[in-house]
Amino acid sequence: MLEGIRVVELATYIAAPAAAGIMADWGAEVIKVEPLQGDAIRGMFKNVSAANVEGNPIFDMDNRGKRGLAVDLRNPQGAEALKKLVLSADVFITNVRPGGLARAGLDWATLHAEKPELIYASVTGYGLTGEEKDRPGFDMAAFWARSGVANLTAPKGSEPFPLRVGQGDHTTGLATLNGILGALFERTRTGKGRLIEASLLRTGIYSIASDMAIQLRYGRIASTKGRTEAVNALNNFFQCACGTWLCLLTRHSGDIFGPIARAIGRPELAEDERFLTAKSRRANAEVLVTILDEEFSKHDIAEWGRRLDEQDVVWAPVQTLAQVAEDKQAEAAGVFVEIPDGEGGSGKSVGGPVRLPNEDGTTADKVRGPAPAIGQHTEEILRELGYDDASIASMRDAGAIN
């Protein structure tokens, strides 16, 4: 879908590389630019893992199908080559802070003046304006904590807990991709690129936009409650006889409780005055949850799935990631892909969130190659930019490239 689009990514960790990674799956030519020692996330498992594990599935997932160039941006020859590369691109994605980019002549104003059609995507913790625009921000700090998501998510009275690796980053990567695609479409009409500004903070707040809208309108928001204090006790979690938890949800119109009461074999509960309305169910939430707990503990998840499906009730099992990895529906939906390792083998990983079906039954979204080694394609890319053997040797002697 994006064949013919060249993307240059000057970024580390996850959020910005995730956006470029999806573009690579969709057919764009993506060149990943790293410092000579490589993206810091390459060493993540060596730095934090107690187990002797090989490879880096986090890096492979977001960087598959890209070509790799390693260059010292602080070296004048390196900065010159990188600028030449960026000016050959359609899209430039970066999470380098503005000051460092300006020193290398890679700031938005400079590049826009030299190539007005370039689309420039900036990914930061806190945005490009304001007193804190240069503050470093990782997803647990900017997306999770500063945005209010951590506080809102934790049940009232409990301590804050960390989000999982890259959760805020990947959400921000999708937001960045959204802006880039809009700019590519706009460019077909105007011939001009634009600045795309994505931040972990803004994306984090948008991820809880429904609650934030309530806060802004009424000046207050209900806290996240425990199971027995839920505003709607029917939108809840119940443990089955097999030990698996079941997520139960109601629709917002029609017969709310009747289908659930029939599914559990207690149709009379739907006529019980304690549970007739949303307000009465909320007032008697603890009693209702206790009753439902007792009923759901009588059968395993498979039986409850059958009964709830018969009544067209919305439900889902609360799965572990080990169970998700074996989920047949996830497989059918194209969730999983194989990433080649560059040595003749491959490993199972996660596909992008959108499937692009072709009429012949194939998909336009697909893994197009392994993640690059540090600087794997440096000489190849420099030659494409017009550098000859002597120029490349000069850059190597000056420490601009490895």
Sketch the domain layout of the chain as residue ranges.
6-209+355-398, 228-319
Q: Is 348 helix (H, G, I), strand (E, B) or coil?
A: strand
Q: Is 286 helix (H, G, I), strand (E, B) or coil?
A: helix
Per-position b or e across 189-213, b if 16+ CB within 10 A of its CB: eeeebbbbbbbbbbbbbebbeebbe
CA distance 322 to 378: 38
pLDDT at 51: 64
pLDDT tens, position by position, for the chain (402 residues)?
Answer: 999 999 999 999 999 999 999 999 999 999 999 999 999 999 888 766 556 677 899 999 999 999 999 999 999 999 999 999 999 999 999 999 888 899 999 999 999 999 999 999 999 999 999 999 989 999 999 999 999 999 999 998 899 999 999 999 999 999 999 999 999 999 999 999 999 999 999 999 999 999 999 999 999 999 999 999 988 999 999 999 999 999 999 987 778 999 999 999 999 999 999 999 999 999 999 999 999 999 999 999 999 999 999 999 999 999 999 999 999 999 999 999 999 998 899 999 999 999 999 999 999 999 999 999 999 999 999 999 999 999 999 999 999 999
pLDDT at 335: 96
pLDDT at 2: 97
Its CATH class, for the domain covering 228-319, is alpha beta
The answer to whether residue 169 is catalytic is yes
The number of CA neighbours under 13 Å toward the Cβ of 323 is 7
What letter represents residue 286's amino acid?
E
pLDDT at 321: 96
* Three-class DSSP labels, 180-214: HHHHHHHHHHHCCCCEEEEEHHHHHHHHCHHHHHH
Name which of 375, 378, 377, 374 is nearest 391 in CA terms: 378
Query: Which residue is catalytic, options 25, 139, 169, 365?
Result: 169
Indicate the Cα dihedral angle 246, 250, 251, 255, nearest 10°: 130
Over its C-alpha atoms, the chain yields an Rg (Å, rounded) of 26
Indicate the Cα dihedral angle 120, 383, 26, 2, nearest 10°: 60
Whether the domain at 6-209+355-398 and the domain at 228-319 fall into the same CATH topology: no
Q: Is 237 helix (H, G, I), strand (E, B) or coil?
A: strand
Query: Which burial class, exposed, middle or buried, applies to 16 when counting CB atoms under 10 A from its CB (0-12, 13-18, 19+)?
Result: buried
Question: What is the DSSP secondary structure assignment for residue 144, as one 8-state letter?
Answer: I
Return the structure tokens found at 90: 């359609």
* CATH tag, 6-209+355-398: 3.40.50.10540
CB 67 within 8 A of CB 31: yes
